[in-house]
Structure 1
Amino acid sequence: MVDAGHGGRDPGAVFNGRQEKDDTLRLALAVGEILQDNGIDVSYTRTTDVYETPYEKAMKANNAGVDFFLSIHRNSFPTDNEVSGVESLVYDLSGLKYQVAQDINAQLEAVGFVNLGVKARPNLVVLKRTNMPAVLVEAGFINSDTDNMLFDNNFDAIAEAIATGLLDALNAEGVIQENYYRVQVGLFRNWRYAERLRNELLEQDYPAFIDDSGPFISVQVGGYDNLSDAVAMERRLKMDGYDTLIIS
């Protein structure tokens, strides 16, 4: 479940007319869409500008039986433009939630934010009352011009970073397994022949590579998270005269 912090009569933090509730809703919906594109079933605490208490949000997640709770917020500091960066909050510094929080922070740091670390906040309702692992992400300070510029100019990258951090941690812990498709174009015993085919494909802008993890040397193109993309690439390769096989 993806939670957009605040909402309705609760604007959250406000800076120069900018309201936290608007930034969080926009970002939560973008993150949820990316997760759905990667095969995750996503629910939301809200998809419009409505208010629910943190307790109601936690109960909504518990009643829905979701496996993970991701709450998105913007931070604030008493003095404007004094502090910038991202931090993630968890009930305690252990388990899957801690790994997810660390991975999300690392991804957001790569976008350009200062990484302020992961902190334990056992008294926050959405972290305390949820029955599943939960992380609250503070996506930059709303009263920091630096962070707001990053947020606005790199919005898509920020949404991708949060989703990727979550997916990477869940995959690493074996919580989810990716369906991953590639198109095999050749199978060889000789490295020289495999390299020749790979280079030929690269010259035509195919994303080709060599996989030698099996008993034979495989030249492949891809991969793809969904089968339709792999099928489209296979058709393109066939039109160019290559013998192909979709593998997963």
Structure 2
Amino acid sequence: MPYTIMLDAGHGGRDPGALYNGRQEKDDTLALTLAVGELLQERGLDVLYTRTTDVYESPYQKAMEANQAGADFFISIHRNSSPEPNTYSGVESLVYDKSGIKLEMAENINEQLEAVGFTNLGVKERPGLVILRRTRMPAVLVELGFINSDTDNMLFDNNFNDIALAIAEGILDTLQMTGEVSVPGSYTVQAGAFRNGAYADRLQQELLEQDFPAVTSQDNGLYRVTVGTYPTLDEAAAMERKLKRAGYQTVIVSG
């Protein structure tokens, strides 16, 4: 059975969340949550939402919805804010405590977002948050940059698809699901293709030990080992050069 992920777009309705120059947190979180959900569904996960429109539910109601649905994981997406604008920037994830798979998922999401360009502010414990305390499944709250940081807002707006992909990949990395999330016009770098899955597993492990984000997928009788998913050919070429310097024969594949 596939995993069931409950995605929560922070705030909504009469609760706009943080505000900055006419920008409302609830709008950013809803757009991003729907984009992440679409990517996860493409990879075969069951995705549920606390909201898909501009409506308000309390954090307690959202937690109860996730519990009643029997979701395996709960991911809440927010934007951060600071007392003074343009003082802080970066992403951080919040968990009830620093243990188990929720911590691993939070760290993986942060690392993927760091690769997009955000400062990684780490994972923090927040046992007092209802959304983390009342959910019965592993739960992560992602603070996706500061809404009153012009730097973070520029990253958010200019890299929206990459951010959605980063969150999705952080979740999938934690679940150790094979294959890549693919988006139209994306590229990946193939490092090997084998008819024997054991050879593919060996190559994938070798690449992972060198911090290359390698995954294995099966296609037409072949086990393909690929590294990363990139929205532009230039970015894929940059990874290909790194792999070739490390001694691997590669080919760029269009998604």
User: Into which bin does the TM-score normalised by the smaller protein fall?
Assistant: 0.7 to 0.9
Residue of 12, 16, 21 corresponding to 1:11: 16
Which residue in 2 is equivalent to 1:209?
192
Aligned residue identity for 1:246: G
Aligned-pair RMSD on alpha carbons? 2.4
CA 216–58 in structure 1, closer or farther in 2 if over 3 Å, else same: closer
**Structure number with bigger Rg:** 1
Is the Cα contact below 8 Å between 2:178 and 2:216 reproduced in 1? no
Q: What is the alpha-carbon distance in structure 2 between the residues aligned to residue 212 and residue 68 of structure 1?
A: 34
What corresponds to 2:37 in structure 1?
A: 32
CA-CA distance at 1:49 after TM superposition: 0.1
Return the match for 1:42 from 47, 70, 80: 47
Q: Which runs of 5+ in 1 are unaligned?
A: 172-176, 181-205, 218-222, 231-244
Partner of 2:253: none
Correspondent of 1:133 among 138, 153, 158: 138
Whether contact under 8 Å (2:194, 2:222) holds in the other structure is: no
> SS where residue 163 of structure 1 aligns?
helix
Match 2:157 to one of 147, 152, 164: 152
Report what 1:192 is aligned to. none
Q: Which runs of 4+ in 1 moved over 4 A?
A: 212-217
Work out which of the residue numbers 114, 122, 129 in structure 1 matches 2:127.
122
> Which among 30, 53, 57 is matched to residue 58 of structure 2?
53
Aligned equivalents of 1:99, 1:71: Cα separation in 2: 16
Following superposition, the deviation at residue 170 of structure 1 comes to 1.3
Q: How big is each residue's C-alpha offset from its partner over 1:12-49, in whole Å with a ceiling of 9 and x where there is no partner?
A: 00000000000000000000111101110000000000
Q: Structure 1 vs Structure 2: percent identity of aligned residues?
A: 66
Cα deviation for residue 148 of structure 1 reads: 0.1
C-alpha distance in structure 2 between counterparts of 1:215 and 1:39, whole Å? 24
Higher strand share: 2
User: Contact (CA 8 Å) 2:195, 2:222: kept in 1 or not?
Assistant: no
**Letter aligned with residue 111 of structure 2:** A
Q: How many residues align?
A: 196
- Pair 1:246–1:212, CA change in 2 (3 A): closer
1:82-124 Cα deviation digits (max 9, x unpaired): 0000000000000000000000000000000000000000000
User: What is the TM-score when the length of structure 2 is the normalising length?
Assistant: 0.72
Q: Distance between the aligned counterparts of 2:116 and 2:73, measured in 1?
A: 24
Q: How far apart, CA to CA, are the structure 2 residues paired with 1:224 and 1:29?
A: 27
Question: What corresponds to 2:67 in structure 1?
Answer: 62
1:159-198 equivalences under 5 Å are: 159-171=164-176, 177-178=177-178
Cα distance in 2 between the residues matched to 1:87 and 1:151 = 14
Alpha-carbon deviations, 1:222-244, whole Å to 9, x = none?
Answer: x996x8xx4xxxxxxxxxxxxxx
Answer yes or no: is 1:105 the counterpart of 2:99: no
Task: Give unpaired runs (5+ residues) of structure 2.
Answer: 1-5, 181-188, 201-214, 224-255
TM-score by length of 1: 0.74
Residue 85 of structure 1: aligned partner: 90
Cα offsets for 1:123-179 (capped at 9, x unmatched): 0011000000000000000000000000000000000000100110111xxxxx447
